[in-house]
Amino acid sequence: MIRTEAAESEPSRGLHRPAVVSYLSEFAEIRRLLERSACRHWWEAASLELFGQQPLLVDGAMGRSAPQVPHKVELALEFSRRPLGALRLQLLPHLSMGPVCESALTELAFQCAGTIQRLASQRWVVQAQLGAPCLIGSSPAMLALDRHIEECCVDACPVALLGTSGNEALQTAAAIHHGGGRAGHVFVKVDCATTLEPPWRWVDRARGGTLFLCHTDSGTRADQEHLWLQLEQALGHATQLDGHRACRLVVALKAQHLPDLSSPIPYGAWSQCHWKVITLPPLSQHPEDIPVLARAVLDYHGHSAEHRMTDALQHWCTNYTWPGNASQLEWTVARMAVLTANTPIGASDISLLSPRLLGDAGTAYTLAEPQAPRYENRDAAPPPTSLPDVLARPVEHWVRCVLEHDTQAFAQLHAGLARALQYLCKQFHESISAEQLADQAHVSVSHLRFLFRDSLGLPFKLFLQHVRIAQAKRLLLASPQRRITDVALSVGFSDFSHFQKCFRLIVGQTPGDLRRASQGNPPASRDTSDMPELQVRKQRDLVAQLTLNSAFQRDCRASTGGEG
């Protein structure tokens, strides 16, 4: 594991510091790990050399003058019997290598290898769009989790993840899948509480890869026993057909006490199976990783952590006793980032949006905060007088901007709302749901509705109606010979009566009255000439049906001799 040799007289070449450090960079994580290591004072410089990558200087300064030439130690980095690279240390001159030093450096090599592999799995999670990375940090809890993951990667035994059903369970299963050499195969996640597929379909889809099950403990005991019996039969049948392509099983379970059970699954043959059990640490057990997690959440959701992260946010996120897992931290930080509209998240924002983080000291801390403008970045922030002007503008202004594709005016609005309006510029005539528009705006549906009401003064559906009616009004006046039904269909209405109702409410008159008024003709008492033939036929059928129903009721009363 350790090879010691005399250092070369020339300083090492090619070592550099990467220009961009992300939350998934080995440079940043290994550097934090070395700073927290018990043997951090044993070397003058440390460099990380991974296969296929250039060397990274992660600690110290190479090439500086020293009274004596130090020793150079190379620590081989391996994970699950697979070489990853090497960590090179230039030890201090007075340090003598002995059994204690070798044991400490060997442990350091194990920790570095586990961290590197965990970061690789997190990059794979982000690329596969499985969620935000939450297995980040160099705390003792994370290093212990790396050991458990490596033990699970050596063999193919089923794995039970106890503790949380949030992102930690999903990404721990993904880390086992990636570290066990199955990264090129399929990873299938199944929610047993909502799926309608039988277990044999899960096993067939996960053939050769990993099958991750969550919420297996939902339902009654009989339901759970039936589920595990079917899963046992499906896995057994798949193994008989092709043992080399059998899937790896990983199950997420809630934290529970198992006093007299050697297996986390007490049903059938599963109770006698050899399980690898991992107890996932809650967020409260590794608070030192919270600052890194908060920055990762901001960057993952498209908010620059360099600009949005503040000392107040880092302080209160770290000192708050989180009752849940990293999913709760992600939801809280991402929500505050969206609602603060591209400004640094200060204590006043935390007090307004997530006051539980501040606790009893929240009021005093907020009052002590300097009364400086919230926009610390003057280049990225709008001028102080622009926001009231934006909110004071009528709905007709934003409707005109959408119809005329005036995207420069949207820059004054919230970024998510601006993206939504830019999408409406080209797609307002098509069928658009709030969920579809929220995906285009990169915000939640509830927050999108809040932005429309708060910034534009109208709900999303009503604003869309204003845009369509405004375009229909333009078409009616520009093309007097065009049928009104064609205009209604072209702007996104599929029901003529609904189009007339919306038009009358917004414009104050019917489409036919508007067209006749523009031509200098008096409005008619009723406009039915442009009503589609299908609409008229439906009304006639409805009247005929009502007539038949009345005749049928009269015949019934006559036959029974009643009058009621």
| pLDDT number for residue 243 | 59
d(CA 186, CA 117): 19
d(CA 64, CA 42): 16
d(CA 236, CA 333): 44
Per-residue b/e over 383-399, b at no fewer than 16 CB within 10 Å?
eeeeeeebeeeebeebb
Phi-psi region of 35 (alpha: psi -120 to 50; beta: other; left: phi over 0): alpha
d(CA 36, CA 344): 29
Per-residue b/e over 196-221, b at no fewer than 16 CB within 10 Å?
eeebeebbbebbebbbbbbbbbeeee
| pLDDT number for residue 132 | 82
| pLDDT number for residue 501 | 85
Q: Phi, psi at residue 30, to the nearest 5°?
A: -65, -35
d(CA 315, CA 320): 9
The letter for the amino acid at 302 is G
Chain position carrying tokens 């399929």: 186
Residues 6+ apart with CB under 8 A from 519: 480
d(CA 456, CA 467): 13
The answer to whether the CB of 244 falls within 8 A of the CB of 181 is no
d(CA 119, CA 25): 7
The answer to whether the CB of 142 falls within 8 A of the CB of 76 is no
pLDDT digits (tens, 9 = 90+) for 349-373: 888 888 888 765 544 444 333 333 3
3-class SS at 443? coil
Residue from 380, 371, 368 nearest 340 by CA: 380
d(CA 446, CA 416): 12
pLDDT digits (tens, 9 = 90+) for 164-212: 656 788 889 999 998 887 777 899 998 888 888 888 889 888 888 899 9
The answer to whether the CB of 227 falls within 8 A of the CB of 199 is yes
3-class SS at 260? coil
Mean per-residue pLDDT pooled into runs of 10, the chain (564 residues): 42 39 74 85 87 82 45 86 89 80 89 90 84 86 92 88 77 89 83 85 89 85 88 84 77 65 78 88 88 88 86 88 82 85 85 78 41 35 39 76 87 84 88 85 80 82 91 89 88 85 87 83 50 49 52 52 44
d(CA 396, CA 307): 34
| pLDDT number for residue 412 | 79
d(CA 189, CA 308): 33
Can you read off the two tokens belonging to residue 394?
């009528």
d(CA 90, CA 16): 16
Q: How many CB atoms lie within 10 A of CB 257?
A: 5
The letter for the amino acid at 115 is T
| pLDDT number for residue 61 | 53
Residue-range domains of the chain with CATH: 2-125 (3.30.450), 155-257+264-281 (3.40.50.300), 285-368 (1.10.8), 386-458 (no CATH)
| pLDDT number for residue 522 | 58
pTM score of the predicted model: 0.61
| pLDDT number for residue 547 | 52
Can you read off the two tokens belonging to residue 33?
């790990």
| pLDDT number for residue 185 | 85
